[in-house]
Chains A and B, each alone.
Chain A
Amino acid sequence: MKATPETFFKLFTSTFMLSAFTVGGGYVIVPLMRKKFVEELGWIDQEEMLDLVAIGQSSPGPIAVNTSILVGYRIAGIPGAFVSMLGTVLPPLIIITIISFFYMAFKESRAVAAVLWAMRAGVAAVILDVVIRMGYDVIKKKKALPICIMLGAFVAATLLKINVVLVIVACGVIGAVTHTLSLRKEGEAK
């Protein structure tokens, strides 16, 4: 497909609108992107889109940003990647900038403080819910290694106060090494 100025315009408006109206982050916006670019515009086929989503999810950084960079790259190369990244990043940038000015003005109000206090308890519940769900997903597979990694990482971060970045790097290395070893074992078995 040849990229014309209209392609870039369409790419920008599509990612901008998707980003501006999707509350709930990567897991909500990615299916909508698929709908837009695979079904509505027909720019990418289904199979390839799934691969792009997998790459977006396995890379560091926000999934919505990663996936839109990939879609843009697929459609119009590096310039396309930057156009769709801009489209994805601008809405939250604009909205949060406006809100943070209000936040500073409203922070002194007792009524606003009461609302925020109650919502903070709500946030604690939301995070608790996420952790229970995700933790259950890990445990129900009944594999020793992921469960050990989960418990080990929790002890390291919470009790031993080891730097979060270090914990992430260590667990990534453990995963890569054990995965490679098990592949090699499978290869030998054959």
Chain B
Amino acid sequence: MSLFLELFISFFQIGLCSFGGGYAALPLIQNQVVDVRGWLTLTELADMITISQMTPGPIAINSATFVGTRLSGIPGAVVATLGCVTPSCIIVLTLAYIYYKYKNLSIMQGVLSGLRPAVVALIANAGLSILIMSLFKSEVFSLNLSDINLLSVGIIACCLVALMKFKKNPILVMSCAGIGGLILYFAGIIV
């Protein structure tokens, strides 16, 4: 199967199955791009999320563009983005047609009531692998406490306090973390 077709199909699935926007697409992106296709490593995915956070646009579109560009340049980016928005176009336009005809979406409310809690769990699942990756020196979970990177623990704890207690903007928090990393690098603490 050609790469363009694979790109289109993968991002079509991501577009089709991500309900709720924002982070809801994350588990699907990780599943397709890292686990199924192996187009990005988990590290690269985390970098992509970082970039996504700081730039405009939905994370699904950003990741489609990022993966597409890396695999086959601008045509790849366009194909992956198209795949990502095609399900939206079809479903949303169909629903809009029905809405203007019947203005009744009870069954959709039911579907949503089942999806909302599931989406939380799936985001937790995707977040967990990123958390493990940044806590440990390797990508696998380890019970050996000496494998835990204490600097990461410190950064995550500081960020959590800034986010939850002081309600700081995520972009600001991540930028500060980045500056912290740069300082640690120039201080010679991390190489």
Contact = CB atoms under 8 A, between A and B. Distances in A.
Contacts of A176: 107, 110-111, 114
Given A118-B177, A129-B164, A157 B114 contact: no
A161 B129 CA distance: 13
Interface string B9-28: 00001011111111101111
B184 A174 contact: no
B85 A97 contact: no
Contact of A151 (B15, B88, B112, B121): B121
A80 B121 CA distance: 36
Contact of B47 (A65, A93, A103): A103
A150 B20 contact: no
B123 A134 contact: yes
A110 B186 CA distance: 10
B190 A114 contact: yes
20 contacts: A25-B57, A25-B59, A51-B99, A59-B91, A60-B17, A81-B89, A85-B88, A96-B61, A103-B66, A118-B155, A120-B43, A120-B46, A124-B156, A129-B164, A149-B118, A150-B117, A164-B125, A173-B111, A175-B115, A179-B106
A82 B178 CA distance: 38
Interface of A: 19-27, 51-52, 54-66, 69-70, 73-74, 78, 81-82, 85, 89, 91-93, 95-97, 99-101, 103-104, 110-111, 114-132, 134-135, 138, 146-147, 149-154, 157-158, 163-165, 167-169, 171-180, 183
A178 B18 contact: no
Contacts of A164: 17, 27-28, 31, 122, 125
Given A60-B19, A149-B114, A180-B110, A126 B163 contact: yes
Given A119-B174, A147-B117, A128 B127 contact: yes
Size range of the interface on B? 35 or more
Contact of A55 (B95, B107, B117): B95
Contact of A60 (B70, B87, B107, B173): B87
A85 B144 CA distance: 50
Interface string B63-76: 00110011000100
Given A19-B56, A61-B91, A167-B118, A118 B180 contact: yes
Nearest to B28: A164
Given A111-B186, A126-B163, 9 more contacts: A24-B171, A60-B17, A96-B55, A96-B65, A103-B51, A124-B156, A125-B155, A128-B127, A179-B106
A92 B57 CA distance: 5
A125 B152 contact: no
B115 A172 contact: yes
B44 to A, nearest CB: 9
